Amino acid sequence: MKTNFDEIIDRRNTNSTSVEGFRQYIFHDPDLKLPYRDEELIRMWIADMEFATPDCIVEGIRRRLDRRIFGYTRLFSPEYYGVFSAWTEKMYGWTFPRGDLYICGGIIPALNELVGYATDPGDKVLIFTPSYTPFKQAADFHGRECVCSDLVDRAHNGYFEIDFDDFRAKAADPAVKLLIFCNPHNPTGRIWTEDELRAVGEIAMENGLLILSDEIHCDLLRSGRTHTPLAKLFPGTDRIITCMAPSKTFNTAGLHFSNIIIPNEKVRAGWHAKHNFNVNPLALAAATAAYEHGYDWLMELREYLDGNFALIRDYLAEHLPKAVFRIPEATYLGWVDIGAYLDERTEFIPLLFAQHAGVLLEGGSTMFVQNSDTYIRLNAACPRATLREGLRRICDLLNSDVR
Ligand code: LCS
């Protein structure tokens, strides 16, 4: 492997949300005191990586820096579409017309906009739960009621599925007009099968729903897996809006750049009327370099993450045998049911681990909307030594009397 993913990189004093923002973001308390110094904490929470962005991207940004002027920038030349659509063709066997591609400063800002263009007052928005909380917030933000369909882990072995009876019933509510769909799914790590994707699309469309398919995790797969864009299975439909980004894949979330593919005229009209089309020239250079040159690095990253997940599986099996965990098919996020070890007095799982283990992680229902009371989410995109120490602390705490 050319890349040294074991390297520990100092992120202090970079205004990193992971390093400096956890008090506000997780605990809503900028003055929170913990019995650990900040540099002693193991950070396994927010979904960015402890790995350096690949050199090819840094070089792409550097080439753009050398042009020295960073004035207003928009997507005019066909270069970026060519590079990104070549990536989607190579990776997923799917492309889309150039005119459908829009750039936004993040998928969350895009969802926040799109819910407004895709729904009217009184309409409801459907999501699967547990969910990345900003999906619900995008509905709340517009005053649209959010309807949740709980995923089910029938055999309680960490394999989550859609409850299609429940989904069908909720999609049939005439007020439900929009599905925000996570493909692959954060936090359960599922890559939905083609049959599942077809069923989701068919049920949604039979009931006249639009679908926002958030595919931000689509490159972060276990080795040998493939991603199927939902829109690939429904060629010709204008009812699926696809969101992808280089940010999770290549650890560039701070550059704020995402691809929003909008074939739908109504939604596009709203976007054209209100969206700010400017893009950050350094982010555009980074995204272009990523999709043009980032493939080999990504394959190495996948291999390293495979190893990290094998470590989590083995460590938990040995030290926390009653935890329920399955290596996720996608994402770098492990979803672990620790219900067998929790005391009913535990009010906020992240605080338990921050105070008594010095580990920052997300967990419980307040962080994943619902259907996640006894779960923790472990970000495995860190050097193996960091991961090992995090696991040790988590297991030691759960095997002690403190919880
Ligand atoms: N969509 C999903 C499904 C995500 O998981 C995330 C980041 C985003 C969108 C963010 O997109 P952006 O606005 O950065 O383009 N997920 C995070 C998470 O689970 N914790 O921290 C960030």
Express each pLDDT in 255-290 by its tens digit. Answer: 999 999 999 999 999 999 999 999 999 999 999 999
* Residues 179 and 275 reside in one and the same domain: yes
Determine the pLDDT at residue 403.
Answer: 64
Question: What integer pLDDT is reported at residue 158 of this predicted model?
Answer: 98
For residues 229 and 314, state if they share a domain. no
Do 334 and 380 form a contact (C-beta atoms < 8 A)? yes
Q: Is 221 in the pocket of ligand 1 (CB under 6 A)?
A: no
Residue 203 token pair: 């049920």
- Exposure string over 263-273, b if 16+ CB within 10 A, otherwise e: bbeebbebbee
Let me know whether 208 and 95 are in one domain: yes
**Average pLDDT value for the chain:** 97
Whether residues 30 and 99 fall in one domain: no
Query: Tokens 């619900």 correspond to what residue?
Result: 136
- What pLDDT does 401 receive? 83
Q: Could you report the per-residue pLDDT of 195-234, keeping only the tens digit for each? A: 999 999 999 999 999 999 999 999 999 999 999 999 999 9
Query: What pLDDT band is residue 345 in, cutting at 50, 70 and 90?
Result: confident
Domain termination residue (choose one: 253, 268, 293):
293
| pLDDT band at residue 301 under the 50/70/90 scheme | very high
Same-domain check for residues 262 and 302: no
Which of 251, 267, 293 is the last residue before a domain boundary?
A: 293
Helix (H, G, I), strand (E, B) or coil at 240: strand
pLDDT reported for residue 234: 98
Q: Is the CB of 258 under 6 A from ligand 1?
A: yes
Could you tell me what percentage of the chain is helix, strand and coil, using 3-state DSSP and rounding each to the nearest 5? Answer: 45, 15, 45
| Predicted local distance difference test score (pLDDT) of residue 75 | 96
The pLDDT value given to residue 346: 85
Q: Looking at the structure, do residues 151 and 258 belong to the same domain, yes or no?
A: yes
Q: What are phi and psi of 92, to 5 degrees?
A: -125, 0
Q: Phi then psi for 202, rounded to 5 degrees?
A: -65, -45
Cβ of residue 106 lying under 6 Å from some atom of ligand 1: yes
Residue 247 Cβ contacting ligand 1 at under 6 Å: yes
pLDDT one-digit tens code per residue, 171-203: 999 999 999 999 999 999 999 999 999 999 999
Cβ of 46 closer than 6 Å to ligand 1, yes or no, is yes
Q: CA-CA distance, 261 to 252, in Å (whole number)? A: 20
Threshold 0.95, pTM exceeds? yes
Q: Is residue 4 part of a domain?
A: no
Q: How far is the CA of 371 from the centre of ligand 1 (A)?
A: 19
- pLDDT for 235-253, tens place per residue? 999 999 999 999 999 999 9
Mean pLDDT confidence for 359-370: 96
Regarding whether 221 and 145 lie in a shared domain, the answer is: yes
Mean pLDDT (whole number) for 318-347: 95
Q: Quick check: is 276 in a domain?
A: yes
Out of 258, 293, 328, pick the residue that ends a domain.
293
- Edge-first strand order for the sheet with 362-363 is 333-337, 375-379, 362-363
Q: Any idea of the CA torsion for 64, 69, 75, 81, to the nearest 10 degrees?
A: -10
Please report, for the domain that includes residue 325, its CATH number: 3.90.1150.10
111 in ligand 1 pocket by Cβ < 6 Å?
no
For residue 357, give its domain range: 17-54+296-398
| 108 domain residue, yes or no | yes
Domain presence at residue 127: yes
Residue 128, domain CATH: 3.40.640.10
Q: Tell me: do 259 and 371 sit in the same domain.
A: no
What spacing in Å lies between the alpha carbon of 135 and ligand 1's midpoint?
10
**Three-class HEC string of 3-31:** CCCCCCCCCCCCCCHHHHCHHHHHHCCCC
pLDDT of 402 above 80: no
Q: Is the CB of 81 under 6 A from ligand 1?
A: no
The pLDDT tens digits of the residues spanning 77-112 come to 999 999 999 999 999 999 999 999 999 999 999 999
Of 240, 182, 165, 233, the residue nearest 209 (C-alpha): 240
- The pLDDT tens digits of the residues spanning 32-51 come to 999 999 999 999 999 999 99
Same domain as 217, residue 241: yes
CA of 107 to the centre of ligand 1 (A): 7
Considering the domain architecture, whether residues 188 and 288 belong to the same structural domain is answered as yes
Average pLDDT over residues 329-342: 97
| Chain centroid, CA 348 distance in Å | 22
Q: What one-character-per-residue DSSP string does 82-147 give?
A: HHHHHHHHHHHS----GGGEEEES-HHHHHHHHHHHH--TT-EEEEEES--HHHHHHHHHTTPEEE
What's the domain count of the chain?
A: 2
C-alpha 218 – ligand 1 centre gap (Å): 12
Say if residue 207 is in the same domain as residue 124.
Answer: yes
Looking at the predicted structure, is the pLDDT value of residue 316 above 80?
Answer: yes
Confidence of residue 344 (pLDDT cuts 50, 70, 90): confident
Residue 217 C-alpha to ligand 1 middle, in angstroms?
Answer: 9
Distance 47 CA to ligand 1 centre (A): 7
Looking at the structure, tell me whether residues 280 and 143 fall in a common domain. Answer: yes
